[in-house]
């Protein structure tokens, strides 16, 4: 496929689009969404799935990547109160009743706490090990947006290549003098690229937005868990 043939075909695009507009005007209206869908060809189906998935992921992350949902300040306050008294059992009960990042990580550390022979390093190690697993969970959901943002334009480009191949095939079969034979192929090429970008750009923006928000929350999480560990260590050290 030479550069000359690409330039020739791209030079014909305005002609084909103008012919389509005239045909739509003669029919008494603009091209409908259903017609655009049909012109987009097979690539519109995976792009539609990507669009639905992106919308669902954005909604899910908007509802869950929040301080009230992940860190639960009310639970942190309850844990702080129990640990200040050296009440390990009470703090464990709070963790079990209120699953969230703070409670799950703190609970993993408290599982290794022995009030009669308290080992601060063992508790801290348990919290560190749990934090790796707990933090990875929500970020895995966020990362799906990055996958969609990458794949949607690629599928759109694949649809573009497919439409171009069909157009060149029609040219080879003698369609140069009949632009209407190539209009559908050109439409497929242009529409799938546009739809892929329309899906991919918001998904990429949402990915970086939620990634940044989650990074701030996890930084605050480390401070909260560190304070809880210090509170427990200080409370139990006074008892011994």
Kindly list the distances between the CA atom of residue 197 and the CA atoms of 50, 69, 187, 191, 226, in Å, as whole numbers in the listed order.
11, 32, 15, 10, 43
- 43-72: per-residue pLDDT in tens? 788 988 999 999 999 999 999 998 888 888
Total residue count of the chain as it appears in this document: 240
Look at residue 30 and tell me if it is in a domain: no
Look at residue 99 and tell me if it is in a domain: yes
Look at residue 48 and tell me if it is in a domain: yes
Predicted structure pTM score? 0.73
Question: Is 27 exposed, middle or buried, given 0-12, 13-18 or 19+ CB atoms closer than 10 A?
Answer: exposed
CB 118, CB 233: distance < 8 Å: yes
Look at residue 5 and tell me if it is in a domain: no
Look at residue 26 and tell me if it is in a domain: no
- 167-221: per-residue pLDDT in tens? 667 666 665 556 656 666 666 667 888 888 989 999 999 999 999 999 999 989 9
Domain of 51? Answer: 42-239
Q: Is 87 left (phi over 0), alpha (psi -120 to 50) or beta?
A: beta
Look at residue 168 and tell me if it is in a domain: yes
CA 105 centroid distance within chain: 24
Look at residue 113 and tell me if it is in a domain: yes
Number of domains in the chain: 1
Cα–Cα distance for residue pair 60/65, rounded to 1 Å: 8
Does residue 20 surpass a pLDDT of 50? no
CB 139, CB 64: distance < 8 Å: no
- 86-127: per-residue pLDDT in tens? 888 888 899 989 888 998 999 888 888 876 777 888 888 888
Look at residue 6 and tell me if it is in a domain: no
């Amino acid at each position: 496929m030479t550069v000359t043939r690409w330039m020739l075909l791209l030079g014909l695009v305005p002609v084909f689009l103008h012919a389509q507009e005239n045909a739509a005007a003669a029919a008494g209206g603009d091209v409908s969404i259903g017609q655009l869908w049909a012109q987009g060809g097979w690539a519109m189906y995976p792009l539609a799935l990507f669009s639905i998935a992106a919308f669902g992921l954005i909604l899910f992350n908007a509802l869950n990547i929040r301080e009230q949902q992940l860190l639960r300040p009310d639970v942190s306050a309850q844990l702080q109160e129990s640990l200040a008294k050296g009440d390990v059992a009470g703090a464990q009960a709070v963790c079990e009743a209120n699953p969230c990042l703070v409670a799950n990580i703190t609970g993993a550390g408290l599982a290794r706490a022995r009030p009669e022979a308290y080992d601060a390093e063992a508790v801290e190690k348990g919290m560190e090990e749990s934090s790796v697993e707990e933090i990875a969970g929500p970020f895995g959901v966020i990362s799906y947006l990055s996958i969609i943002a990458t794949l949607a334009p690629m599928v759109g480009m694949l649809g573009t290549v497919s439409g171009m191949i069909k157009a060149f095939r029609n040219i080879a079969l003698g369609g140069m003098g009949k632009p209407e034979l190539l209009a559908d192929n050109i439409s497929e090429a242009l529409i799938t690229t546009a739809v892929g970008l329309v899906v991919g750009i918001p998904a990429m923006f949402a990915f970086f937005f939620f990634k940044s928000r989650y990074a701030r929350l996890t930084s605050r999480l480390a401070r909260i868990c560190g304070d809880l560990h210090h509170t427990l260590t200080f409370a139990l050290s006074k008892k011994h």
